[in-house]
Amino acid sequence: MYDKLNSMQQEAVFCTEGPLLILAGAGSGKTRVLTHRAVYLIEEKGVNPYHIMAITFTNKAAGEMRERIDRLVGFGAESIWVSTFHATCVRILRRYIDRLGYDNNFTIYDTDDQKTVMKEVCKRLQIDTKMYKEKSFLGVISSAKDELISAEEFTLRAAGDFAKERQAAVYREYQAALRKNNALDFDDLIVKTVELFRNDAQVLDSYQERFRYIMVDEYQDTNTAQFQLIKLLAGKYRNLCVVGDDDQSIYKFRGANIKNILNFEEVYPDARVIKLEQNYRSTKNILNAANMVIANNVGRKSKELWTDNDEGEKINFQQFDSGNEEATFIVKDIRNKVQEGNCQYGDCAILYRTNAQSRLFEERFVVSGIPYRIVGGVNFYARKEIKDLLAYLKTIDNGRDDLAVRRIINVPKRGIGATTLGRVQEYALEMDMSFYNALKMADDIPTIKKAGIKIKPFVNFIQTMRSKVEFLSVSQLLQEIIEETGYVAELEAENSEEARARIENIDELVSKAAAYDETEEMPTLSGFLEEVALVAEIDNLQEGNDYVVLMTLHSAKGLEFPNVYLAGLEDGMFPSYMTIMSDDPMDLEEERRLCYVGITRAMTDLTITCARQRMVRGETQYNKVSRFVKEIPQYLLRKTERRGEDKSGNDELKKPFRLAGSKVNPIFNTRNAYQNKPYQSTSFSSASTSKITLEYVSGDRVKHGKFGEGTVMQIVEGGRDYEVTVQFDRVGMKKMFASFAKLKKV
């Protein structure tokens, strides 16, 4: 079994005692190493499977690891704990969170639930959400939790800073609301487990004894809270094996701390470091390009990917006049490859820096009839009908979840008005009880009078369903909710396409519940709700379907495709203007790592494209070729110079996409945009006749508030404004109106 591993993989498998850092380059077979290591521990070292833990980030990765371990180990494999960070913490907290003062049947709040709580918090604190967005408060709180900063500690640190003091007040109120609802958000799952371990030596010791051998996948993506969790678990036996690649650390915006992997040897001075540098995925040319790009980063551990695969084709680099031409070329190139029998649609992926870049590709795929799918769209569990039915299940499972109760109190409509609900809420706050318990006592609330009659049927229904939880499977319970509430019957009465689509979604939820009932050894309603809450968006990527995949580079990590198109490789797009203008050089290094991830997704064919000009936020931007492309040696690139219209045919694809009867948006004709609407600006009122005066002329050096210094290349007079073209030192050429630009001569 082990002779099929290369020498470094074998070394990683056989090193079982003490701290171990495996630096696993892209496509180097890290999952294979982890699974074989688990087998070696059991078969050769005599370790009880019960004492082995393998932990990762996504359900998909955990499922793949579990499947491989089961196949290799056979009997006893089920005792190995293979799980995600969040699922691990849920299991621990379900058993012991009562020691922190919570009920064990707590609810897990998703993003929408958090937003609802935050709206209520801001309303209570009389915060103007037009000025201070709920989302920004949630971001601050999440970042604090990633660093294990409690609301109390955040408050102490905020002293003297008015903005931070406001954030601290929101943080405290938000946590109080979650506590009252017996709910945790995703960050709390990790935070509360760390808190439990720190506060209860007995619980910590029991899990340290249980997990004597710990393996952590994708270690470069861990945040401070996850680092502390693993450190605590491994504190007794220190048999900790972490696998990761600092060159693929791209989730700083989610709280990932690259220092966890870069400083591993400082935390564990006796750690052994093994590098997996042989790549089994890509051609030599693709790997050489990736190595040359990432070598420009300073904050990294030295390593270089190599392969026994063929040299392969050179990287196809194409520069176009506009984003429209770029999209036309890529879609046509994919179609040609499929028609010539060189690949299938499912072999192709278009990767880009931001979600907004997908529009042009989508339009052309629609025109050409090519099947495609965007990864990272609306999640199945975020759809209204699904959230409604899950809210019923949550209410039945945990009546202390106010959000779930309030979501479905009038679904279907029961005629319970906002005033009545407001009075129930006031009573709940006054009596320090949950919203649902207040509903149960509606007859005792003097302010709602006869409205209590409308509340009683809802309470009776929930209580009846609760009495059946013990006797019905999750799918049966769900079907009874659907039938008794008339949810589907109401949709059928609508008799619309949208209603039919929603019914299909409900059918799928029932199928999901049935599958859970069949596959889970001891299915429970709480377990089903946990499984639903822990599904990540990327886990929903279907396999085996023949369609082109469109996704951001962040979503592409961990995937591979025979044909990859990296689109929009321009300074200003990738790396972004924000990164280029940042004072922190680490921001540019993270963008370079993202580029490295993109390049290493390609197996046999890589195409990199960019555009000389692109319409962004209604403005034409002139961008230079990305500095990352320039870091690839010329001998690895196959270039085609393209200026003007593409003469290679296919007029249909070159046309701007539009619906029948609609007008062509001038955004699609970027090269003639100014000729179509010369120098018009909405900033001038019709009454305004005065013309601005410029303090600079062509050739002068000027400074822009955002883009820095540059040279004025051209000034064109038009109406009441001037169109100024400036070649900026850092961000390339931009064309703008003088009144908006507010350029200062330097």
Q: Which residues are catalytic?
A: 30-31, 217-218, 248, 601
Residue 580 near residue 571, CB atoms below 8 Å: yes
Run of H or E residues at 604 = strand 602-616
The alpha carbon dihedral of 549, 554, 558, 562 has a sign of: positive
Task: Name every residue whose Cβ is closer than 8 Å to that of residue 423 and which is 6 or more positions away in sequence.
Answer: 445, 447, 448
C-alpha 34/C-alpha 495 separation (Å) is 52
E strands, 179-308, are 183-185, 213-216, 240-244, 272-276
Q: How far is it, in rounded angstroms, from Cα 535 to Cα 540?
A: 8
Q: State residue 39 phi and psi, 5-degree precision.
A: -65, -45
How far apart are the C-alpha atoms of 240 and 155, rounded to whole Å? Answer: 35
Look at residue 568 and give its three-state secondary structure.
coil
Question: Which three-class secondary structure state does DSSP give residue 336?
Answer: helix
The one-character DSSP state at 447 is G
Closest CA to 51 of 215, 185, 177: 215
Give CA–CA dist 483/485, Å, rounded.
6
Cβ neighbour number for residue 724 with a 10 Å cutoff: 23
Q: What Å distances lie between residue 160 and 140, 156, 398, CA to CA?
A: 18, 9, 40
CA dist., res. 565 & res. 332, Å (int): 12
644 close to 353: Cβ distance less than 8 angstroms: no
Do residues 573 and 627 touch, judged by C-beta distance below 8 A?
no
**Alpha carbon distance 595, 599 (integer Å):** 6
What is the Cβ-side half-sphere exposure of residue 283, based on CA atoms within 13 angstroms? 18
What does the block give as tokens for 135? 């989302």
- Quickly count: other Cβ atoms within 10 Å of residue 505's Cβ: 16
Q: Measuring CA to CA, which residue among 55, 51, 39 is closest to residue 231?
A: 55
Are 291 and 305 within 8 A, CB to CB? yes
Q: Quick one: residue 387, left, alpha or beta (phi over 0 = left, psi -120 to 50 = alpha)?
A: alpha
Burial label for 595, CB within 10 Å (0-12, 13-18, 19+), is: buried
Residue 429 tokens, joined = 């706050």
Q: Do strands 721-728 and 708-718 pair parallel, antiparallel, or not at all (unpaired)?
A: antiparallel
The tokens describing 131, both together, are 């000025």
Q: Are 404 and 371 in contact (CB under 8 A)?
A: no
Distance between CA atoms of 501 and 479, rounded to whole angstroms? Answer: 18
DSSP bridge pairs for 348: 563
What is the bridge-based pairing of β-strands 107-109 and 81-84?
A: unpaired
Helix (H) or strand (E) segment spanning residue 640: strand 637-641
Q: What is the residue whose two structure tokens read 């870049």?
A: 357
